[in-house]
């Protein structure tokens, strides 16, 4: 009899929650949604992913969700993680897995002009300082959600050509043809002419709004729950830090400031401090 009760207790804990992970086979740079469905309210739902603890946020009664990001240069293959939560004073764990597929990224070579070098666009000390500022912002997301429906394209012309896609491996040379450095592109470049209006892709709070030496005119919008959009190389910034903006609000004008080879808008998306491919977020409600 006692064994029977023990078995029931074990089964009830096994069947008390469902964990969904979509997609199960993302491409490098894509985002993954985790959804935990429970029978009653639970506490402290979180996932340990690549050594970091990421919260699952209450999105409906007994439903806890979070987004995970992947980088273009993470190895392909299986990524295992553990989701945990507390219920009636006990801690429960569920394993999850996705399999990262090759994103098939191209390679390009770019030449930085003498003028840009003299302006300090290749200054690695300035870059390190800017990355520290941006990194701190990306890790300080707000727990509440400001998002309303899908993300919208940040320019009026949704057909604006892409001059450089997400994930492309970039080899930079100076004006004398000497190699400078290489890195993968962590956003998408759109061929916006100088002073094209730029709009907020989603509701949120301005986390960064400043002219930077390498990133140029930079805006980061915190959409809450680990999601932030990024706008670089702006000529003009129309918003201030901590200001609330609605989706489609005019936030600035595109430019050619900082580390650029011509006028464009660099648009990016950070998902729990991972710069993902923002393309799949347009028009998509997760």
Shortest reach from residue 13's CB to Zn ion, in Å: 48
Nearest CB to Zn ion, comparing residues 205 and 208: 208
**Exactly one of 266, 269, 276, 280 binds Zn ion (CB under 5 A); which one?**
266
Nearest CB to Zn ion, comparing residues 101 and 169: 169
Nearest CB to Zn ion, comparing residues 266 and 272: 266
Shortest reach from residue 275's CB to Zn ion, in Å: 11
Shortest reach from residue 123's CB to Zn ion, in Å: 18
**Stretch of 37-45, 61-69, 94-102, 266-274 lying at the interface with Zn ion (CB under 5 A):** 266-274
Q: Is 189 in the site for Zn ion (CB under 5 A)?
A: yes
Q: Is 272 in the site for Zn ion (CB under 5 A)?
A: no
Shortest reach from residue 283's CB to Zn ion, in Å: 21
Nearest CB to Zn ion, comparing residues 238 and 261: 261
Residues 216, 187 contacting (CB under 8 angstroms): no
CB-count burial class (<10 Å; 0-12, 13-18, 19+) for 91: exposed
Shortest reach from residue 51's CB to Zn ion, in Å: 28
Q: Find the distance separating the first CA and the last CA of the chain, reported in whole Å.
A: 46
Closest residue to Zn ion using C-beta atoms: 266
Contact partners, residue 159, CB within 8 Å, separation at least 6: none
Residues 59, 89 contacting (CB under 8 angstroms): no
**Stretch of 39-47, 50-58, 126-134, 187-195 lying at the interface with Zn ion (CB under 5 A):** 187-195
Shortest reach from residue 9's CB to Zn ion, in Å: 54
Contact partners, residue 282, CB within 8 Å, separation at least 6: 150, 151, 152, 153
**Stretch of 36-44, 61-69, 183-191, 211-219 lying at the interface with Zn ion (CB under 5 A):** 183-191
Residues 214, 258 contacting (CB under 8 angstroms): yes
Nearest CB to Zn ion, comparing residues 117 and 261: 261
Shortest reach from residue 278's CB to Zn ion, in Å: 11
Nearest CB to Zn ion, comparing residues 226 and 268: 268
Q: Is 215 in the site for Zn ion (CB under 5 A)?
A: no
177: phi > 0 → left, psi -120 to 50 → alpha, else beta; which? left
**Stretch of 68-76, 84-92, 204-212, 262-270 lying at the interface with Zn ion (CB under 5 A):** 262-270
Nearest CB to Zn ion, comparing residues 70 and 218: 218
Nearest CB to Zn ion, comparing residues 71 and 286: 71
Shortest reach from residue 193's CB to Zn ion, in Å: 16
Rounded Cα distance between 208 and 199, Å, is 15
CB-count burial class (<10 Å; 0-12, 13-18, 19+) for 254: buried
Task: Look up tokens 């990306």; give the residue.
Answer: 138
Task: Look up tokens 């729990």; give the residue.
Answer: 272
Q: Rule CB under 5 A: which residues touch Zn ion? A: 187, 189, 266
């Amino acid at each position: 009899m006692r064994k029977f009760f023990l078995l029931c207790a074990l089964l009830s804990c096994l069947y008390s929650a469902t964990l969904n992970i979509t997609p199960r086979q993302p491409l490098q740079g894509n985002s993954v949604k985790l959804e935990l469905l429970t029978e009653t309210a639970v506490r402290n739902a979180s996932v340990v992913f690549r050594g970091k603890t990421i919260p699952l946020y209450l999105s409906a009664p007994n439903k806890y969700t979070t987004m995970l990001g992947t980088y273009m240069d993470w190895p392909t293959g299986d990524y295992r993680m553990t989701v945990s939560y507390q219920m009636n004073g006990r801690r429960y764990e569920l394993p999850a897995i996705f399999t990262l597929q090759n994103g098939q990224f191209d390679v390009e070579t770019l030449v930085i002009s003498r003028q840009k070098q003299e302006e300090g666009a290749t200054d690695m000390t300035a870059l390190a300082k800017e990355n520290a500022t941006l990194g701190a912002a990306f890790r300080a997301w707000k727990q509440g959600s400001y998002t309303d429906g899908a993300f919208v394209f940040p320019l009026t012309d949704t057909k604006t050509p892409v001059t450089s896609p997400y994930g492309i491996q970039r080899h930079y040379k100076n004006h004398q043809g000497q190699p400078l450095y290489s890195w993968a592109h962590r956003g998408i470049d759109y061929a916006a002419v100088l002073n094209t209006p730029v709009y907020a892709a989603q509701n949120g709070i301005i986390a960064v709004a400043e002219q930077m030496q390498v990133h140029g005119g930079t805006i980061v919008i915190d959409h809450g729950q680990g999601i932030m959009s990024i706008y670089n190389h702006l000529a003009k910034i129309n918003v201030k830090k901590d200001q609330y903006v609605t989706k489609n609000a005019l936030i600035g004008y595109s430019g050619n400031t900082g580390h650029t080879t011509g006028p464009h808008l660099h648009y990016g998306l950070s998902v729990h401090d991972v710069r993902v491919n923002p393309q799949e977020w347009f028009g998509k409600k997760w």
